[in-house]
Structure 1
Amino acid sequence: MITEYLIIAAVIAVIILTGQATARWAGVPSAIPLVLFGAGAGFLPVMAEAVVPPDVILNLYLPLLVYHAAFLTAPRETRRDAVPISALAFGLTCVTAIAVAGAVQISVPAIGWAAALALGAAVAPTDPVSATSIMQRVGAPRRMVTILEGESLVNDAVALTLFGLAITALSEKITLAAGGLMLLRVVVGGVLYGLLVGWLIARIRRRIVDTGAQIVVSLVTPFLAYLPAEHFGMSGVLATVTTGFYLGTRANGLLQPKSRLAGTAFWDVLAFLLESSLFVLLGLELRQVLAAVSDYSAAALAGAAVLIIGVVVLVRPLWTLAAFPLVTRMTGRHLSFEHVGRAQRLVMGWAGMRGAITLGIALSIPMTVPHRPLLIFLAAAVVLATLLGQATTLGPLLRRLGLGESGRTVVEEARAREAIVEAAVARLDDLTAGGEVDEHTAQVYRQLLELRLDKVRAFLGDTGTSPQEPMSSAGTRPGTAGAGLRRRLAQAQRERLEELYRKGKVSADIRRRLIHELDLDAHRRSASAH
């Protein structure tokens, strides 16, 4: 049995590598070849054992994926754009789930409202990776990307909460009053428990120096948030999201550069494997799903799929074009929408691709739910249709509407580099004036820093020189005094970068990228010292 599991894991790994290479070659979303290759592998005799139980998807994949997304959330941007994010994450998610449930009742009435709502909850949340990667590559306005990222984080929790209520309604009758009390317990309890777990983990991680131990704690954290919350009738997803957000906003103060580098690399690889393997697992299950829905005619399956895809695709732009202007009529003080024009709302409405979270929710539907194969089939149809249709046309739509600003981000990053190097020069001058650094050493470091300043300023002067280079503050032989000075100069750069972020001068992506470079430099210095 162990040998068979190892063979299955090896086949899935080969499919992931081949699928990713094929996607790059063909210029299509990686989900397409992953599902197709997975479906092909389903005909291999050994892969008949590769059906993952729904509980594994729900209790393993989803906590890790939502925790990773929450940890990387940009707190300043999310807070600033709370109104449009809430309008999408709460309003649109609920409207989409209900609209899809209604479409299911029209096309396949035998499914029932509870199961139909479970499908609606599965296809309601969007995939942030597909949309934001395209928009960042084209250079879309940063605020649009931020709103979509914030929405995708919150709507996962909203959709999974609706999904849990729908699954519960399949096994027991829920009155309106009981449902309201249950929702209150699920939501409030999940958030409060998530805050408690985040607070405890933050204090534990401050006392851990070993990098390996830090990674182990980070890996265990989503399960500490998710599983107990679910056991006691609270929302495990909301608990996990809250914990991830709480720790993500404090990551720079919790971790040393070496731990931050190792943790980032570990979680990037883990998220890649989880998301890719979900598409492969869908492909592997597709053969059984198609066999199970063979009782329906091809016309009935196609009609139901087209209707639900149409609802999913059309409800979103209708909401962004109609609901956003209505928000400005709310009484009281709220966020101004003058920078979210009609063209931007149209793009955000079209950026509604579904991905790994939708697949994870669909595959986690219990085996006992009636019409489960049909629900998975319809969810898969929505995922593939939106990735193939919307993901491939989003870039051209952005360019046609004139929303590409590819040079803006580059200039913003260059100005941030200029500002933090200037902060290092100022700190060096203060240390020299205070007698903590001798003039000869100060002159060496000043020359190195000024060379970097000249390079960045040349780029800002449109000379065509690339401003990117490692954030190194060193160039002399390592020594105790030199190492201490480099650390203090790096700290000055970090402080200046945090100040720029707080004032809204740089985005969370640029801040994260420059912190990563500073961490790399600190790690190189530490390695060379040993």
Structure 2
Amino acid sequence: MEEDRLFIVFLAVAVVVLLARGLAGRLRVPDAIVLVLLGLAAGFVPALPAVVVPPEVVLLGFLPPLLYHAAFFTAPREARDDAVPIFALAFGLTTVTTVAVAATLHVLVPDVGWTAALAFGAAVSPTDPVAATAVMQRLGAPPRMVTILEGESLINDGAALTIFGLAVEALGTDFTVAHGAARVAQIVLGGVAYGLVVGIVVRRIRRWIGDPVSQIIVSLVTPYVAFIPADRFGASGVLATVVAGFSIGTHGEGFLQPASRLAGTTFWRILTFLLESALFVLLGLEIREIVRAPGGRTWGTVVAVALAVSAVAIGVRLLWQLGNGPLARLVPGGRRSRADLGPRERLVIGLGGMRGAISLAIALSLPVGLGNERGLLVLLAALVVLVTLVGQAPLLPLLLLRLGLIEPERRRTESMLARKAGLQAALARLDELAEEEDVDEQTAEAFRQMLELRLERVRYFLDREGGEGRRPPDSGRVRSELVRAQRARLQVLYRKGRIGAETLREIGRELDFEDPVAVRRPPS
């Protein structure tokens, strides 16, 4: 029965999620690497049913929230400062990679027409920064490289999906250059304009909502409100979703309550992880039949084509990164944006261009009318994702160490300096309130002691070891032990009936924020 099939698929997704989280933590590798391996392996489990995912389910069910999440959490100032390298990668490199991959595929597999080859090239051209940035942030790489990779990935999704949409349109209709230019204008301008409107309307709505649950519901509906109408009226649903997410994310701090921000951040991290996990599992279940007869070709041919396409995608990116320095200086603002971005940084950014869930989502949305060629292209996209993730991600730590790009203490010192400035500002404001008699002296003194205690701890971190901001040995263990002691005491009070369950949960949530173990392992 269909209900049984759905239950088994949901169960498979849950098992893969749990295994991926556990294995990634033990192996200290990005979740995406384990997910792609387990997802593909799931397709070979006999008890799991074969699945054919309708393209519209992927387009409407997976892409909008994934794109919205990436846009919402973009750092606006950093992205603006590095606009030239980001746009050069997002538009220039995406277009060049699409054409190069399409040409390679057309030469190696002539039966795949140029239009289908371009659609496939657009599917594997956008990068997924999750694995690369996870490695970089864990090791303490310069934040500018992380910003460029994240900004590029946000914009190149729109560029790739625009090319993909045009190629899919051309599969069934006569397509002229004039028609193509008109459609590009309609897709881009319409998507951006509608996305701005959605962003403005949703921001105004959310200003009047204080309930965290209602805020989450609105945020979950927003990407679909941006994507579906724009797509139905011939504009780019992708650009509309990205623009709406970026607009709301960059103006959201002023009208969201702290509880809404905390709950929303946790919700979206979990949701995107589940969606990406489901994509990998669904891909594995779908390619089971393809693996038996991959488009009527031998496995040797398929693997050779996948390796050739992967080599072209990786090689074009490295050549672009290492060779576009002189060209970037000719662009207004290019010379300034290239400052401090030397050959070492460009090499790491070039190697950090891995493919992931977005490429799988685009490939799975190829029209069913392609027949056997669709199965071949989906399988090739999966292999390209596998090659780039498993092949490139393990090299990043070695390359960062070899090139001397690790700054392990920079982020901690930056955080402590920010905390110090914030606490000093709070103390100054408290003194003003006391002088204006807006607060009584006893209350002011209580808050003053609390703030000074926190400030003293921050100064201790900054002053230790010559101001390098290193954490004192075992300080995390001591804090964790103190939190554990408080939890144990709460449990005793609860068992004796001195406090209720609601109080137990409330104080337990506060202790979660103090526990260094919990802080080091946020949901992702």
- TM-score normalized by the length of structure 1: 0.85
Paired residue type of 1:69 = A
Which of 439, 442, 445 aligns to 1:440? It is 442
Structure 2 Cα separation of the partners of residues 217 and 384 of structure 1:
35
User: Conserved in 2, the CA contact under 8 Å of 1:139 and 1:408?
Assistant: yes
- Matched to 1:196, the amino acid is V
Structure 1 residue 46, shift from structure 2 partner: 6.0
Aligned-partner residue type, residue 104 of structure 2: A
1:57 corresponds to: 58
Separation in 1 of the partners of 2:400 and 2:14? 35
8 Å contact kept, 1:126–1:353: yes
What residue in structure 1 maps to residue 318 of structure 2?
317
- Deviation at 1:331? 5.5
Mapping of residues 365-376 of structure 1, within 5 Å: 365-370=366-371, 371-376=373-378
Matches within 5 A, 1:98-109: 98-109=99-110
Q: Report the counterpart of residue 497 of structure 2 in structure 1.
A: none
Q: Secondary structure at the match of 2:326?
A: helix
Q: Which amino acid aligns with 1:400?
A: R
Match of 2:142 in 1: 141
What is the distance in 2 between the residues matched to 1:326 and 1:434?
59
Is the contact made by 1:215 and 1:263 (CA closer than 8 Å) also made in structure 2?
yes
Distance 1:452 1:32 in 2: 39
Deviation per residue, 1:147-173 (Å, 9 max, x gap): 111101001111111111111111112
Contact 1:70–1:242 under 8 Å retained in 2: yes
How many Å separate the matches in 2 of 1:321 and 1:123? Answer: 21
Where structure 2 has 5 or more consecutive residues not aligned to the other structure, the ranges are 481-509, 515-524
In the other structure, the counterpart of 1:239 is 240
User: Is 1:307 the counterpart of 2:295 in the alignment?
Assistant: no
- SS at 1:228 equivalent: helix
C-alpha change, 1:36 and 1:129, in structure 2 (3 Å) is: closer
Whether 1:47 aligns to 2:48 is yes
Q: Which residue of 2 aligns with 1:198?
A: 199
Stretch deviating more after TM superposition (282-291 or 328-337)? 328-337
- Residues 95/220 of structure 1: CA separation in 2 closer, same or farther (3 Å cut): same
How big is the shift at 1:336? 3.7
Deviations 1:428-451 (A, max 9, x none): 011011111222222222122111
Displacement, 1:251?
Answer: 1.4
- Three-state SS of the structure 2 residue aligned to 1:208 is coil
**Kept in 1: contact 2:31–2:131 (CA 8 A):** no
Shift of the 247–190 alpha-carbon distance from structure 1 to 2, 3 Å rule, reads same
Shift in alpha-carbon separation, 1:101–1:291, aligned structure 2, 3 A: same
Check 1:29–1:442 CA distance in 2 against 1; reply closer, same or farther (3 A cut). closer
Corresponding residue of 1:275:
276
Other-structure match for 2:414: 412
Task: Give 1:83-98 correspondences, 5 Å limit.
Answer: 83-98=84-99
2:391 aligns with: 389
**1:71 aligned onto 2:72:** yes
Work out whether residues 355 and 388 of structure 2, in 8 Å CA contact, stay in contact via their aligned partners in 1: yes
Deviation (angstroms), 1:48: 2.2
TM-score with structure 2 setting the length: 0.86
Residue deviations 1:60-109, cap 9 Å, x none?
Answer: 10011000000000111111111110111110111111110010111111
Match of 1:481 in 2: none
What residue identity is the alignment partner of 1:150? G
* Counterpart code for 1:416: A
2:424 match: 422
Q: Which amino acid is the alignment partner of residue 452 of structure 2?
A: E
Cα distance in 1, alignment partners of residues 22 and 52 from structure 2: 25
User: Which whole-Å deviations, capped at 9, do the CAs of 1:372-411 have from their partners, x for residues lacking one?
Assistant: 1111111111100111111011111011000111111110
- Mapped to 2, the partners of 1:457 and 1:31 lie a distance apart of 38
Calculate percent identity across the aligned residue pairs: 53
Residue matched to 1:224: 225
- 1:17: Cα distance to partner? 1.0
Counterpart Cα distance in 2 of 1:334 and 1:268: 36
Q: Indicate how the Cα distance of structure 1 residues 330 and 3 shifts in structure 2: closer, same or farther if over 3 A, else same.
A: closer
- How far apart are residue 45 of structure 1 and its match? 6.2
Partner Cα separation in structure 2 for residue 396 and residue 333 of structure 1: 30
| Offset at residue 27 of structure 1 (A) | 4.4
Q: Matched residues in 2 for 1:133 and 1:39: separation?
A: 22
Please, what is the CA RMSD of the aligned residues? 2.2
Contact 2:74/2:150, CA 8 A, preserved across alignment: yes
Q: For the structure 1 residues 14 and 331, does the alpha-carbon distance in structure 2 shift closer, same or farther, using more than 3 Å as the test?
A: closer
